[in-house]
Structure 1
Amino acid sequence: MEITKGFYDLNVPYQTNENELIAILNELYDVGYRTIAIDETFDHTKCNRKASDIFPAPSDLTSLREKFQNKLKILSRLSIVFSQNVILHDMNTSSNIKKYNLICGIPVTEAAMQYACSTLPGDIIGMVHNDATKVFLISHKHYLMAARRGIYFEIQYAPAIRNSNQRKDLIVVAQNIVSHRKAKTIVITGGALNPFQVRSPYDVANLGLIFGLSEEQSKSAISNVCRTIVLKAEGRRYGKTVIFAKNTQESSGDEEENDSESGEEEEEEESNSDDSMDDLGSMDEGHPPKKQKFS
């Protein structure tokens, strides 16, 4: 099981230039984050259907994990942009998708959003941040369906820093999610493309006030909620397990009782043997043994 600690940023976009990625990770560590997830985006709408496994394997993060070994816990995440229900079959038959720590579904249509809330296996539901994609709101019915399944909704703050139009869309979508009164199913992530877009956890907590969250709920969205997501993701990856617990103190107490009982039995046997030795001694002295009555 992955051992993590807060604060969390579960969306750090992967970059081929490792130096730029290292600069972002250093900034995240300096401002107070301790667990991050390197995100890779896969567009399912443009994939090659003839491939045996359409999902790519996770990028090699060994060098990053070694560099930040005592600083950051680095997880892997896959964000899947999709619009059709056939994605469920592709996910169930893929072996590469099981290698990621976190799975995020990003629907691009209202029908895909309904499918993501009701059926899509994963951990997080996100949204596309570009001017070409239409922003749509989530109904209360589908939101509750996702909440019952343990699916969390993601709010990214970095796109609001990069573009004013995306800032407006982000506020509208965030307030729509918060309006359903289920703040425990909301996670706030970064999505920063450079160190200048990184914000400290306490700045993010203040930013949550714009979305309609309280300061406590905003802090939970980058700490406790993220830890719950990681734990549930581990259960999804490895399946159900059974754990047997045994109290060693009680067992030691039972052993002591058994030892005391056996000791009493030995004492009784010794006393009986002493009586028999007394009878034998009386016979040696010339005295007849005591007569025993038999019923």
Structure 2
Amino acid sequence: MEITKGFYDLSVPYQSNESDLFAILNELYNVGYRTVAIDETFDHTKCNRKVSDIFPAPADLTSLRAKFENKLKILNRLSIVFTQNVVMHDMNLSTNIKKYNLICGIPINETAMHYACSTFPGDMIGMLHDEATKVFLIGHKYYQMAARRGIYFEVPYAPAIRNSNHRKDVIVIAQNIVSHRKPKSIVITGGALNPFQVRSPYDVANLGLIFGLSEEQSKSAISNICRTILLKAEGRRYGKTVIFAKNTNEPSDEDGNDSESDEEESNSDESMDEGHPPKKLKFS
């Protein structure tokens, strides 16, 4: 896995204007973030079935990575809006989707939410899509299924800054997750569309207190939990691997043979010193 470090903002909406995106990333770096994910949204309900791979390739971030070299670790993220479980079949056939560092599923009805918690092959579940999306609360059973699979729920803070109605939705969603006694399943992200919507990690940690999280849990939601998500995402991308470890301090076979021969020579020398003739070897 690529080396990452906190604090993390795993949701920076992609913008085609690179200067606007640069301004947001620069503000994130100035307030203390060190790992960010550029988020591209794909609406699976409106996909083009005529192409071989319905999922787009990740945006080219080479220029931005060069500008923030040794400052920010910039990753690619894809958010998939879906309503049916056919999305899993399309994801399995896609080659582009494995190029993303992070996959987030955004279900927009209860059926899709059940699928997201039980089967969706992603890393996170998002609860907010746009202003027209209806927010619905999920029962304890769904949360248990997601927790057993290691799926995390995303709570973005920037929509609460942009819209008063979304502010209520964000607080309700976060408190609903906490009410199921799963504070470790929450990851707090940004979602800022301009530098003025960016908040420092410590402001976000204080916001977590409103959600019902403790100070330690709030900091973990933008640091340790994010790193855990990225580690699991790497496992999803590359699958299981076998690693062979070798102790370099142990002598090699050649060294062992040399030591044995040296020992035999020393033994023969000792025997000659003691007056015993060396043993004669017979060859047939």
TM-score bracket relative to the smaller structure: over 0.9
Tell me, in whole angstroms, the C-alpha distance in 2 between the residues paired with 1:208 and 1:83: 30
- Identify the residue that residue 238 of structure 1 maps to in structure 2: 238
Secondary structure (helix, strand or coil) at the match of 2:45 reads helix
Please list the CA deviations of residues 151-188 of structure 1 after superposition, one character each: whole Å capped at 9, or x if unmatched.
11000000000000011111111100111112222100
Secondary structure (helix, strand or coil) at the match of 2:127 reads coil
- Identify the residue that residue 155 of structure 1 maps to in structure 2: 155
Tell me, in whole angstroms, the C-alpha distance in 2 between the residues paired with 1:73 and 1:95: 23
CA RMSD of aligned residues (A): 1.9
> Could you tell me the TM-score, scaled by structure 1's length?
0.89
Taking the TM superposition and a 5 Å limit, the aligned residue runs for 1:10-159 are 10-159=10-159
1:83 deviates by 0.2
Secondary structure (helix, strand or coil) at the match of 1:38 reads strand
Tell me, in whole angstroms, the C-alpha distance in 1 between the residues paired with 2:80 and 2:277: 89
- Identify the residue that residue 9 of structure 2 maps to in structure 1: 9
1:5 deviates by 0.5
Taking the TM superposition and a 5 Å limit, the aligned residue runs for 1:170-249 are 170-249=170-249
Q: Cα 1:49–1:253, aligned 2, differ >3 Å: closer, same or farther?
A: closer
1:253 deviates by 10
Q: Which amino acid aligns with 2:180?
A: H
Secondary structure (helix, strand or coil) at the match of 2:59 reads coil
Tell me, in whole angstroms, the C-alpha distance in 2 between the residues paired with 1:94 and 1:241: 21
**Contact 1:43–1:82, Cα closer than 8 Å, also in 2:** yes
Tell me, in whole angstroms, the C-alpha distance in 2 between the residues paired with 1:48 and 1:257: 65
Q: Cα 1:59–1:253, aligned 2, differ >3 Å: closer, same or farther?
A: closer
Tell me, in whole angstroms, the C-alpha distance in 1 between the residues paired with 2:91 and 2:246: 39
Secondary structure (helix, strand or coil) at the match of 2:75 reads strand
Tell me, in whole angstroms, the C-alpha distance in 1 between the residues paired with 2:37 and 2:277: 81
Q: Cα 1:277–1:105, aligned 2, differ >3 Å: closer, same or farther?
A: closer
Tell me, in whole angstroms, the C-alpha distance in 2 between the residues paired with 1:268 and 1:84: 79
Structure 2 gap ranges (5+): 279-284
Secondary structure (helix, strand or coil) at the match of 2:79 reads strand
1:245 deviates by 2.0
Q: Larger deviation: 74-83 or 46-55?
A: 46-55
**Contact 1:157–1:191, Cα closer than 8 Å, also in 2:** yes
User: Is 1:266 the counterpart of 2:241 in the alignment?
Assistant: no
Tell me, in whole angstroms, the C-alpha distance in 1 between the residues paired with 2:99 and 2:255: 49
Q: Which amino acid aligns with 1:160?
A: A
Aligned identity (percent) is 80
**Contact 2:106–2:129, Cα closer than 8 Å, also in 1:** no
Secondary structure (helix, strand or coil) at the match of 1:76 reads strand
Q: Which amino acid aligns with 1:24?
A: I
Tell me, in whole angstroms, the C-alpha distance in 2 between the residues paired with 1:188 and 1:179: 16
Secondary structure (helix, strand or coil) at the match of 2:78 reads strand
Secondary structure (helix, strand or coil) at the match of 1:16 reads coil
Count of matched residue pairs? 277
**Contact 1:189–1:222, Cα closer than 8 Å, also in 2:** yes
Q: Larger deviation: 204-213 or 139-148?
A: 139-148
Tell me, in whole angstroms, the C-alpha distance in 1 between the residues paired with 2:191 and 2:266: 77
